[in-house]
Amino acid sequence: MMLIGDPVYKSMKIILLLSILQYLHLAYGSVNRCGSPTLQRCFCGHQFFDDKSMFVVNCTGLGFKNADMLNELTEDTEMLVFTGNHIGTLPSNVFGEGRNMTKLRIIDMSNNGIHDVKGKAFHHVVGVTRLILNHNNISISSEEERNFHHPRVFSNFFNLEELHLTNAFADNTDATLADDLHDIFVNSNLTKLYKLHLEQNEIKNFKDDRVFCDLPNLHDIYLGNNNIPSLNFNITCLPKLRYLDLERNNITKFSQQDLDRFDRLAYPYRSINNNLTLDIDGNPFRCDTAIKNLYNWLHKTNVIIRDKDTLQCHQTKYGTKYIMNLKNLAESKHAKISQALTILLVILVLILLTLLGAYAYLKKGSMRGRFSPLLEAVSRKVHYNKIESQDV
Ligand SMILES: *[C@@H]1O[C@H](CO)[C@@H](O)[C@H](O)[C@H]1NC(C)=O
Ligand SMILES: *[C@@H]1O[C@H](CO)[C@@H](O)[C@H](O)[C@H]1NC(C)=O
Ligand SMILES: *[C@@H]1O[C@H](CO)[C@@H](O)[C@H](O)[C@H]1NC(C)=O
Ligand SMILES: *[C@@H]1O[C@H](CO)[C@@H](O)[C@H](O)[C@H]1NC(C)=O
Ligand SMILES: *[C@@H]1O[C@H](CO)[C@@H](O)[C@H](O)[C@H]1NC(C)=O
Ligand SMILES: *[C@@H]1O[C@H](CO)[C@@H](O)[C@H](O)[C@H]1NC(C)=O
Ligand SMILES: *[C@@H]1O[C@H](CO)[C@@H](O)[C@H](O)[C@H]1NC(C)=O
């Protein structure tokens, strides 16, 4: 039996104390790496990301209710992952007044229930190449400086290459959002922006069809899972456009003009290895005359169409069809038409014959009179022929 005051018990107590101290030391070390006690629950340290070792501060799912602790973010931070909290408002100068986050490359603030982005929220972020604000609830209002409407919200991101705004906005804001997007892009001078994600934002129409025209380096536009009804924005002004995602929108058809515009972004208008890639799967295309246009285009265009073979069109009469197999539909339609024409022709011929018969019957008397010498001559000749042949 072990007793209190036992030397074994004493040594265990010492070991326990030592391990607590060691734990505290580790925790203290972590605080140091994060540079601040307010960030101590975050992971701070080097991590491989995109084949590079980066100093990462990762504050995922820590229940933060505001972003105040980001004032204390060390200037060594190269990647900030601040996701799954609930901060509501992104204040002005998120990283603190007069601080210089020149090493920061990636900011991920997804899934934080952000509804307000204050003007000048991001300052001194010249090095940031990727900003991720997916799955937030950002609202649009006409009150300047109050929230995302602030048209210069991304204006300090001189080197931004990727902007991720998938499901970033509050529902039912599509109209105002689409109105504001162009203002935001015009005023933000995002001359290096390469990739733009705007999926799942209920976008229908853009107030200005030149909405993306002020993003001269734009290569990839992701607009999947919106409610866009047609090619209602200018793509001709984007000489570098390489990938356009229009998956699962509300497009029923493309006009010939639209198809020509796509073609202009592929060989021979562009170099042979620079063909546009287009994703139009999951749209409610109609199996009508316009689809024949699309069918023909799909078979001859140099634009690369993702999932070309599973593209479908719908019509109550024909159900759902694979557009690439539409030939059958077109052929059977042709067949039906020619069948109908044949029947019509037969009927017409029958009518004609009947009419001729009736005419002949009515004019029987006069006809017999007129033709009888001829008929007699013929029958006589037949008669002679018969006799002759019998002679042989
Ligand atoms: C950040 O931390 C969370 C959980 O702690 C982890 O799931 C996630 O992968 C981390 N992110 C990065 C980029 O390391
Ligand atoms: C930020 O740091 C860069 C270089 O590290 C320097 O050129 C720049 O002037 C600094 N800006 C501010 C506002 O401190
Ligand atoms: C988003 O914001 C609206 C009000 O702007 C609110 O009604 C809604 O509950 C919010 N949704 C989430 C998921 O936070
Ligand atoms: C836009 O940014 C470029 C550098 O990226 C700069 O030269 C130009 O002056 C800026 N234009 C405006 C209007 O801020
Ligand atoms: C799209 O923009 C280009 C370049 O600015 C312009 O030439 C063209 O006319 C525009 N197209 C439409 C349909 O507005
Ligand atoms: C999709 O387009 C149809 C008309 O083609 C329209 O009736 C419908 O409201 C649109 N759906 C959405 C979600 O915009
Ligand atoms: C672009 O299209 C041309 C013509 O169809 C084709 O020869 C070429 O291989 C395509 N380029 C790529 C990278 O697919």
Here the tokens at position 227 are 């409610």
Hey, is 339 helix, strand or coil?
helix
Q: Is the CB of 232 under 6 A from ligand 3?
A: no
List all residues 6 or more positions away from 64 whose beta carbon is below 8 Å from its beta carbon.
82, 85, 86, 87
Q: Is the CB of 286 under 6 A from ligand 6?
A: no
Q: How far apart are CA 27 and CA 41, in angstroms?
A: 9
Ligand 2: residue of 78, 100, 103 to mutate (most ligand atoms within 8 A of CB) is 100
CA distances from 65 to 42, 61, 84, 86, 87 (A): 14, 11, 11, 5, 5
User: Which residue, by CA, sits nearest to atom 11 of ligand 2?
Assistant: 100
- The domains found in the chain, sorted by start residue, are 31-322 (3.80.10.10)
Q: How far apart are CA 203 and CA 194, in angstroms?
A: 21
List all residues 6 or more positions away from 344 whose beta carbon is below 8 Å from its beta carbon.
none
Distance from the alpha carbon of residue 154 to the mean position of ligand 3, in angstroms: 23
Q: How far apart are CA 133 and CA 167, in angstroms?
A: 9
Q: Which atom of ligand 7 is nearest to the CA of 304?
A: 14
Contact 82, 56 (CB under 8 A): no
List all residues 6 or more positions away from 2 whose beta carbon is below 8 Å from its beta carbon.
8, 9
Q: How far apart are CA 277 and CA 124, in angstroms?
A: 35
**pLDDT of the residue at 387:** 46
Per the prediction, the chain carries an average pLDDT of 83
Q: pTM to 2 decimals? A: 0.78
Here the tokens at position 145 are 């400086």
Here the tokens at position 26 are 């580790």
**pLDDT of the residue at 162:** 97
Q: Which atom of ligand 4 is nearest to the CA of 189?
A: 1
Q: Is the CB of 272 under 6 A from ligand 7?
A: yes
**pLDDT of the residue at 146:** 47
User: Which residue, by CA, sits nearest to atom 5 of ligand 5?
Assistant: 237
Q: How far apart are CA 65 and CA 319, in angstroms?
A: 51
Q: How far apart are CA 67 and CA 136, in angstroms?
A: 15
User: Which residue, by CA, sits nearest to atom 14 of ligand 2?
Assistant: 100
User: Which residue, by CA, sits nearest to atom 11 of ligand 7?
Assistant: 273
Q: How far apart are CA 38 and CA 28, in angstroms?
A: 12
Beta bridge partners of 43: 58
Proximal ligand: closest to the CA of 102 = 2
Digitized pLDDT (tens) for each residue of the chain, 392 residues in all: 445 556 566 666 655 555 654 554 444 444 468 888 889 899 999 999 989 999 999 999 999 999 999 999 999 999 999 999 999 888 888 998 888 899 999 999 999 999 888 878 888 889 999 999 999 988 765 454 444 556 677 888 999 999 999 999 887 665 667 677 888 888 888 999 999 999 999 898 888 899 999 999 999 999 999 999 999 999 999 999 999 999 999 999 999 999 999 999 999 999 999 999 999 999 999 988 778 889 999 999 999 999 999 999 988 777 888 888 876 555 555 656 677 777 888 888 888 888 888 888 888 766 555 656 555 665 555 554 544 444 44
Q: Which atom of ligand 7 is nearest to the CA of 275?
A: 1
Ligand 7: residue of 243, 263, 264, 272 to mutate (most ligand atoms within 8 A of CB) is 272
Element housing 45 (H / E): strand 43-49
**pLDDT of the residue at 14:** 55
Q: How far apart are CA 168 and CA 113, in angstroms?
A: 9
